[in-house]
Structure 1
Amino acid sequence: MAPRLFSAYVVVDWSAAAKPSTGPDSVWIGVLKRDARFRMHFESHNPPTRGAAEKLLASVLDDLKKRGERALVGFDFPLGFPRGFASALNLAGDAPWQAVWTQIDRMVKDKADNTNNRFGVGAEINRRLTGGPFPFWGCPPKDTLTTLQPKRSRPHGPDDLPEFRHADLAAKGAASIWKLYYNGSVGGQAILGIPAVRRLKAARGDALRVWPFETGYRALSAADLDGVEVVVAEVYPSLIKAQPATGEVKDLAQVRATAEHFARLDEAGKLGAAFAPAKHTAPDTVVDAELEEGWILGA
């Protein structure tokens, strides 16, 4: 049987909250790693702010590095935007996903107390793309602007950027990144989450690889990960049916179930194959995933 690719599994349930918060709908970090007796042991963290979450993640990864253990880190928001986004914004230079990461990072202001400008970022990108309240939508009434409205202004047409990435359609039920507010608003999470992942990447360089952008959208083997300490992937906890224990917050149950799911696949020698596209995936879809859109691990 193939050796395990990872010895630790970290799953991050991000939040776009505008003030410090804990409990449901806040940041949850689940860490499944070996204890002193080499048994898998789960621990959870519920930092009140994104800043605190980022520091905690860095310390977890530093600790695993000291122990010589490779980690899979899953974030529950899109790491890429629908195909065509980078060119629509005239972002030149790097690979489209990198150009978008750099642009979002430049625009985002996310303070230590969680106050942030995600609606301003969405409104400004709308202004550059269409001059109106499209494609991003969703905000509290007080944040309404001519280029950002609380409700969706119109459906996506054939000449617009796609409403969904290929991966969102494959995952069935995943929300569109253009939705910035209300339940399941992954857009706000992506805008505030991508800069945090970019900083983790900047601090670790080539020792951290972002799948599928830096690894290719293909099966991974231990040899592929030689010298790699961390693989970051997008996850969608709703793909795994998590049963909360009595008194347990749903978000905590989801990060635990997701970490355990990937650990089981790895134990069975099947996780490497999960990084590859399904058999009948169109070549264009693979290219879009690798260059710009990303993919959801397990979708």
Structure 2
Amino acid sequence: MPRLFSAYVIVDWSAASKPTTGADSVWIGVLKPDVRFRLAFEGFNAATRAEAETRLNAVLADLKKRSERVLVGFDFPLGFPRGFAGAMKLKGEPWRAAWDELGKRVVDKPTNVNNRFNVAAQLNRLLTGEAFPFWGAPAKDVQTTLTATKLRPHGPDDLPEFRHAELVAKGAASIWKTYYNGSVGGQAIMGIPLVRRLKDARGDAARVWPFETGFKSMTEADLAGVDVVFAEVYPSLIAPQGAAGEVKDLMQVRTLAEHFARLDAASKLGDLFGPPKATPADAVLDAEREEGWILGAGA
């Protein structure tokens, strides 16, 4: 069986407000065929998100020129918990409507200066009129509808704290957390607009899993005419492998890229695009319409 992909790109994102490199900055891991058609790894550490976007566009353009189909994984949620789009009164497909809403609101300057805390506060105001469900901000960014700490627990009438995927991938943080360690909420607010631009620039040749592919096992026939599949990944699902003193983020993007490549070579990667066994039908539908899923969670 041929591989579904010939290249694998893993992106460790950052919501930093100033240029930064090293630990807790943007790392891009690229595993692609070399001149001898063997998979070789390159790691890139971008000081800003703008630099990272330029690099990603260059990598994807090069792979397309070489007719290499690529899996691109981002380490932040690509969707919000079920009910978000409805609570925001957004029109259209829930996942895409949320993407477009963030695209309108997020400001991300070339210096990494951004308005992610203002966006979280704006969304809270529209969702509940209080500092909920988004929470977490440095003192200077605390405001009426965004507090430094969690306002209250989620109740039965609130939007869920976690997506279905996060309940399966134990340890995964909630998208509502926008600051402090593990604040994937800040990364998602700053990252989803990037994926939206990358997707829109490539049209139907790029697909976002599982929103545009379906939450099902993937075959070569499913990828006819597709150059890129964008997916959400969770590096902590795989123990990073590397040399002593190596930056953990770099180890994670390389380890995960190599993990997916090995599964693909063994014709086992396609099944990861489908739901884990015994996943309820409503969870599958929520993943396809609004929440997304973490590639490999529950496998």
1:262 corresponding residue in structure 2: 260
1:62 corresponding residue in structure 2: 61
Q: Deviations over 1:266-288 (max 9, x none)?
A: 00000001100112110000000
Give percent identity, aligned residues only. 69
Q: Deviations over 1:175-214 (max 9, x none)?
A: 0000000000000000000000000011000000000000
Q: Distance in 2 between matches of 1:244 and 1:43?
A: 14
2:212 corresponding residue in structure 1: 214
Q: Deviations over 1:153-180 (max 9, x none)?
A: 1000000000000001110000000000
2:172 corresponding residue in structure 1: 174
Note the 1:130-141 alignment, pairs <5 A.
Answer: 130-141=128-139
Q: Does 1:285 align with 2:267?
A: no
1:111 corresponding residue in structure 2: 109
Per-residue deviation at 1:244? 3.2
Q: Which amino acid aligns with 1:286?
A: V
RMSD: 0.5
Q: Distance in 1 between matches of 2:68 and 2:250?
A: 24
1:204 corresponding residue in structure 2: 202
Q: Distance in 1 between matches of 2:186 and 2:12?
A: 13
Q: Does 1:87 align with 2:86?
A: yes
Note the 1:215-234 alignment, pairs <5 A.
Answer: 215-234=213-232
Q: Choose from 262, 269, 272 the match for 1:271.
A: 269
Q: Choose from 158, 161, 167 the match for 2:159.
A: 161
Q: Which amino acid aligns with 2:81?
A: P
Secondary structure of the 1:111 match is coil
Secondary structure of the 2:283 match is helix
1:33 corresponding residue in structure 2: 32
Q: Which amino acid aligns with 2:72?
A: V
How many residue pairs get aligned? The number is 297
Q: Distance in 1 between matches of 2:242 and 2:16?
A: 23
Secondary structure of the 2:46 match is coil
Q: Deviations over 1:16-36 (max 9, x none)?
A: 000000000000000000000
Q: Choose from 137, 141, 144 the match for 1:143.
A: 141
Q: Distance in 1 between matches of 2:240 and 2:45?
A: 18
2:188 corresponding residue in structure 1: 190
Q: Distance in 2 between matches of 1:159 and 1:45?
A: 44
Q: Distance in 2 between matches of 1:297 and 1:193?
A: 17
Q: Distance in 1 between matches of 2:118 and 2:205?
A: 33
User: TM-score by structure 2 length?
Assistant: 0.99
User: TM-score by structure 1 length?
Assistant: 0.99
Q: Does 1:20 align with 2:23?
A: no
Q: Distance in 2 between matches of 1:239 and 1:151?
A: 27
Q: Does 1:252 align with 2:262?
A: no
Structure 1's consecutive aligned runs of 4 or more residues displaced over 4 angstroms after TM superposition are none
Q: Distance in 2 between matches of 1:274 and 1:3?
A: 16
